[in-house]
Amino acid sequence: MEEPPHRRRAHAGSRDLQRYAGLFAERTGVMRSSAMRDLMAITARPEVISLAGGLPDTSTFPAATFAAQMTRIAQESAAEALQYGPTEGFAATVDCIVEVMGAEGMLPDHDDVIVTTGGQQAIDLICKTLIDPGDVVVCEAPTYPGAVPVFCSYQAETIQVDCDEDGMRIDELDAVLERLDREGRRPKLVYSVPSFQNPAGVTLSLERRRRLVELARSRELLVVEDNPYGLLRFGGEPLPPLYQLDGGDFVIYVGTFSKILSPGIRLGWAVAPPPVMEKIVLGKQASDLCTSTLTQHFVREYFAEGRWQAYVDSLAELYRGRRDTMVEALRRHFPPQATWTEPEGGMFIWATLPEFIDTGDLLAKALREDVAFVPGQSAYVEDGRGRNSMRLNFSGSGEEEIREGIRRIGNVVAEQVELYHALTAGKGAEGSPGTPGREAEDVPVDVKAKPSSGPGHDLTPPGPDEGAVLPFRKKENTG
Ligand SMILES: Cc1ncc(COP(=O)(O)O)c(C=O)c1O
């Protein structure tokens, strides 16, 4: 068969790059790829156990319910479901959103809500509305890896504030704001995922929530609360969202149906005060006119059944078991120097390895063993931070896969530890991070984690002088 005359070339050559380079907007120079999206392409191979994605378990959604609802839409509302819709979204979708937010004690005004193409678009539109090149954005360290490319593409200066087991350190945030004040600068927004954070799994304590809202109010600072996981709690007591504590004056809220129903329907939302919302709506018009009307119909039908909360509870129960399995596997297969968080909800564990392990390099080795995770660096804007950490997802794989996946990662970690010891043996490396006085054989593959491993860890990587075991810094009065 003859080849079609104008086949696109699969890869751009250097001549092509030169030809286009002069045309690119300045912002493309600082654009970054989302590590997760890159990984999704690699981990699509069926033999790979992916602990990398942020995938909810959609296999549990009843196929019969899905079929019945789509059939009803086809029979009763095909014309509207196949048509453009209002940029703000259908009123019926907003009713569902208000119901979801109500389940966490929030009472937004319907007019303050816009339906977006996922929470990701909501973050993008908020930044599009507020950020000029050089503006300051403050977020957690580590932060949601998918937010980093957004901040970069609007050319923000991103300042990250450390997290510990109680979420963002508000004392550190206060110090950052003071410093900026002295420089005559003011952040455009503070971005936070307060509940079961992606990637760290930690949750902002009630006291810190109150302090953050007080800070926002006293400094007239906008806080973007991104809350995809709040309803996926499987332990501990529910905490009020920032939006509820603030009443919606200084907190812009981002929500999504992705983790409580389906990411494939691409439905999320933002709630913002009217002047901000007006600009967000204009931004969305320019971006995609409106959110999928077909999937908005699906959500309406689904919520009319009144069983959405029972489904969310069933997901939380499922994820609890998977979290337990992952924690047990980490205790068994990760070296004693490793630490990790033990979240009370959501989908992620954040593990930190000895300083000399670079999880970016480790990923290449892990992929050879058909297992994947997200390297910690993707949760930081600054190069080099998070190098020895990784995000592990426990919602998207079955328990057997989780056990096997962690075993394989544990093996590649053990190889790295051995290699490091072999290379540094006799070179006075006793004081090197992760190795004081230890021989390679002291680091077995199958080890029980120290009793102190697990929650209660400071997520900050240790400094070079902090010895073998990652520090469990005592919580000071860090409110
Ligand atoms: C914290 C956070 N925000 C936003 C998103 C984007 O989700 P979506 O666009 O599917 O609503 C995710 C997805 O993983 C997330 O974890």
Q: Using alpha carbons, list the distances in angstroms from residue 314 to 264, 300, 307.
A: 19, 20, 11
Query: How many CA atoms are closer than 13 Å to the CA of 21, on its beta-carbon side?
Result: 7
- Is the C-beta atom of 226 inside 6 A of ligand 1? yes
Q: From ligand 1's centre to the CA of 268, what distance in Å?
A: 9
- Is the C-beta atom of 253 inside 6 A of ligand 1? no
Domain spans of the chain? 35-41+47-56+310-425, 63-304
Q: Using alpha carbons, list the distances in angstroms from residue 457 to 16, 329, 343, 452, 468.
A: 49, 18, 12, 8, 15
Of 120, 148, 227, 265, best ligand 1 pocket probe by most atoms within 8 Å of the beta carbon: 120
Of 97, 231, 256, 284, best ligand 1 pocket probe by most atoms within 8 Å of the beta carbon: 256
CATH 3.40.640.10 for domain 35-41+47-56+310-425, yes or no, is no
Nearest to 380 by CA among 202, 197, 198, 140: 140
**Chosen CATH of 63-304 out of 3.40.640.10, 3.40.50.1980, 1.10.1660.10, 3.30.420.10:** 3.40.640.10
- Is the C-beta atom of 393 inside 6 A of ligand 1? no
List, in sequence order, every residue forming a beta bridge with 305; answer none if it has no partner. Answer: none
- Is the C-beta atom of 118 inside 6 A of ligand 1? yes
pLDDT tens digit at each of 479 positions of the chain: 555 555 555 566 667 777 888 888 888 887 776 666 667 777 778 899 999 988 999 999 989 999 999 999 999 999 999 999 999 999 999 999 999 999 999 999 999 999 999 999 999 999 999 999 999 999 999 999 999 999 999 999 999 999 999 999 999 999 999 999 999 999 999 999 999 999 999 999 999 999 999 999 999 999 999 999 999 999 999 999 999 999 999 999 999 999 999 999 999 999 999 999 999 999 999 999 999 999 999 999 999 999 999 999 999 999 999 999 999 999 999 999 999 999 999 999 999 999 999 999 999 999 999 999 999 999 999 888 999 999 999 999 999 999 999 999 999 999 999 999 888 886 654 444 433 333 333 333 222 233 334 333 444 443 333 322 222 233 333 44
Query: How many CA atoms are closer than 13 Å to the CA of 466, on its beta-carbon side?
Result: 14
Ligand 1 atom nearest residue 119's Cα = 11
Same fold, 35-41+47-56+310-425 and 63-304: no
The answer to whether the pTM exceeds 0.75 is yes
Nearest to 143 by CA among 128, 155, 160: 160
Q: Using alpha carbons, list the distances in angstroms from residue 323 to 41, 70, 303.
A: 25, 33, 28
SS3 category, 126: helix
